[in-house]
C-alpha cells in the first residue's frame, strides 16, 4: 500500500514526495486501525466517504482540542491519498483521495451544536447514506439525522469565505440558530473525479415523516410549484401554493415569539454577509396520519406479531448509537413526540389547533451572494415584471424585509 497524508494549511503546488516517502516511519504513524466495520457500499464514492470520515475522526481524536481557533485553522485541510492498497478490496476502489476542509473548525462547530464526534462518525459511516431527490445533489444518512449536499468548487470557495463569520455568529448565539448547522466539508476523489460534500443536520425529523412541505422566499413571482412537482408523492410547494391553500402554522404564542426572534437575528447576519435568495423550509407532520401509517407499517412488517431481535434500529450496533440514538428504538416516543436534542428544528403544534401537527422550520440555501449575476437577473426581471413587482432577485436588505414580512404572516 502506498499512501500519503497531510494536515495543516493547504499546500501550494510543488513536487510530491519521493517513492520512499510512503514507507517512512512518520507516514506510517498517520494510520489508525479502523474501529468501525465499513459498509458494503455499491457506490465507490460512498465507500470512500465512510472510510475517509472514519479515518479523519480517528485522527482528530488523537489531537487535543485547541484552546482557541487561529486564523490558519480556517485555511487548513487534511488530505490522504491511497494507491494500490491491499486492505478492504471488496469495498474500496484501489485508488482514491480524501480531503477534509478546516478540520478543527468543523470539530469546534460540531461541539457547539452538541454533536459528539463518535456519534457523527457512526451516523455517516456505519451504513452508507443514500441519494435522495433527483439529480444526485443530496445524500441522507442511513439514520436520517444528517444531510450531505453536493457542492461545486465555487460553492466550496463560498463556504470558506463565510466560515469565519459563521463560526463567530454560532459562538455568539450559543448554537441557537435556524441557519443550516454545518458539521463537515469534504472532497472525495474517485476515478479522477472530485465530489465536494457539505454535511449538515437534517432539518426534518429522523423519525416523524413530513406530509406537507413548503419552500418559502416571500416572493410571489414564479413562486408556484409546477404541475409536474405537484404530481409527486411529497411535492415541494411554494409561496403562492401556501397562500392558495390557506395554510397556517399553529404554535403557541411564546414559541412563535422565540422562533421569530431567532429568525430575525439570523436574517440580520445574512444581510451583513450580503447573502440572499435563502428560503424557509417548512415541513409539516400530521400526527394522526403518522400514527395510522406507523400501524400499517408494523402490520405489513410483522403480521404474526414476532420481532426482529435487532429492533427497529436495523443494522446499528449498541455503542456508539449515532445521532439518532438508534432511532429512539429503546426510548419509545408517542405519536407526534420528538426529542428536541435530535430534531433540533422541530416545533410542537399548539393545543386547540384544528389538527395535531408538528412543524420543522429552518433556513436553507444561504450561500448566494448578491453579486454581478444577481444584479443582472434583477435588471432582467424588473424589465419583464415592472419595477414594483415582487421578484426574488432584489438587494439583500429588501430581500430580508420582504422575507420576514411574509414569514411573520404564516402563523395563525
CA distances from 409 to 84, 89, 244, 252, 365 (A): 59, 56, 14, 15, 21
CA distances from 46 to 40, 54, 251, 327 (A): 9, 12, 39, 22
Nearest in space to 87 (alpha carbons), one of 64, 55, 58, 116: 55
Alpha helices in 173-225 (DSSP H): none
Tell me if the bond preceding 320 is cis, omega within 30° of 0. yes
192: left (phi over 0), alpha (psi -120 to 50) or beta: left
Q: Is 149 a catalytic residue?
A: yes
405: left (phi over 0), alpha (psi -120 to 50) or beta: alpha
Instruction: Return the C-alpha cell found at 353.
Output: 389547533
Q: Which is catalytic among the residues 215, 239, 241, 277?
A: 277
Instruction: Return the C-alpha cell found at 120.
Output: 457523527
Q: Is 228 a catalytic residue?
A: no
Task: State how far the Cα of 381 lies from the Cα of 392, in Å rounded to an integer.
Answer: 9
Q: Which is catalytic among the residues 149, 217, 238, 374?
A: 149
Catalytic positions are 149, 277
Amino acid at each position: 500500500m502506498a499512501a500519503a497524508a497531510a494536515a495543516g494549511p493547504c499546500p501550494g503546488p510543488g513536487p510530491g514526495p519521493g517513492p520512499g516517502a510512503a514507507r517512512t516511519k512518520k507516514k506510517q504513524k498517520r494510520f489508525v486501525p479502523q474501529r468501525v466495520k465499513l459498509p458494503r457500499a455499491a457506490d465507490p464514492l460512498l465507500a470512500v466517504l465512510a472510510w475517509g470520515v472514519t479515518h479523519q475522526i480517528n485522527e482528530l481524536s488523537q489531537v487535543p482540542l485547541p484552546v482557541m481557533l487561529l486564523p490558519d485553522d480556517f485555511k487548513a485541510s487534511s488530505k490522504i491519498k491511497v494507491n494500490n492498497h491491499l486492505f478492504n478490496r471488496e469495498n474500496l476502489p484501489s485508488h482514491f483521495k480524501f480531503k477534509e476542509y478546516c478540520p478543527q473548525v468543523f470539530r469546534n462547530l460540531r461541539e457547539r451544536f452538541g454533536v459528539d464526534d463518535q456519534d457523527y462518525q457512526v451516523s455517516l459511516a456505519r451504513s452508507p447514506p443514500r441519494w435522495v431527490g433527483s439529480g444526485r445533489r443530496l445524500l441522507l444518512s442511513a439514520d436520517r439525522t444528517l444531510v450531505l449536499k453536493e457542492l461545486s468548487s465555487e460553492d466550496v470557495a463560498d463556504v470558506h469565505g463565510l466560515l469565519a463569520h459563521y463560526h463567530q455568529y454560532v459562538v455568539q448565539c450559543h448554537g441557537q440558530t435556524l441557519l443550516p448547522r454545518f458539521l463537515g466539508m469534504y472532497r472525495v476523489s474517485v476515478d479522477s473525479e472530485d465530489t465536494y460534500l457539505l454535511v449538515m443536520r437534517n432539518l426534518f425529523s429522523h423519525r416523524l415523516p413530513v406530509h406537507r412541505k413548503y419552500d418559502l422566499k416571500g416572493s410571489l413571482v414564479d413562486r408556484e410549484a409546477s404541475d409536474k412537482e405537484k404530481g409527486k408523492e411529497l411535492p415541494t410547494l411554494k409561496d403562492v401554493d401556501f397562500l392558495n391553500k390557506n395554510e397556517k402554522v399553529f404554535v403557541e404564542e411564546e414559541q412563535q415569539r422565540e422562533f421569530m426572534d431567532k429568525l430575525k437575528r439570523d436574517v440580520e447576519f445574512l444581510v451583513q454577509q450580503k447573502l440572499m435568495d435563502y428560503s424557509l423550509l417548512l415541513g409539516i407532520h400530521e400526527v394522526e396520519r403518522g400514527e395510522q401509517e406507523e400501524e400499517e407499517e408494523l402490520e405489513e412488517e410483522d403480521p404474526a406479531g414476532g420481532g426482529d431481535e435487532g429492533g427497529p434500529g436495523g443494522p446499528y450496533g449498541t455503542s456508539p448509537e449515532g445521532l439518532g440514538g438508534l432511532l429512539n428504538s429503546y426510548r419509545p416516543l408517542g405519536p407526534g413526540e420528538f426529542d428536541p436534542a435530535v430534531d433540533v428544528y422541530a416545533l410542537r403544534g399548539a393545543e386547540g389547533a384544528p389538527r395535531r401537527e408538528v412543524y420543522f422550520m429552518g433556513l436553507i440555501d444561504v450561500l448566494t451572494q448578491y453579486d454581478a449575476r444577481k444584479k443582472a437577473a434583477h435588471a432582467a426581471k424588473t424589465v419583464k415584471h415592472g419595477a414594483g413587482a415582487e421578484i426574488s432577485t432584489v438587494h439583500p436588505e429588501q430581500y430580508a424585509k420582504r422575507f420576514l414580512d411574509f414569514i411573520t404572516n404564516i402563523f395563525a
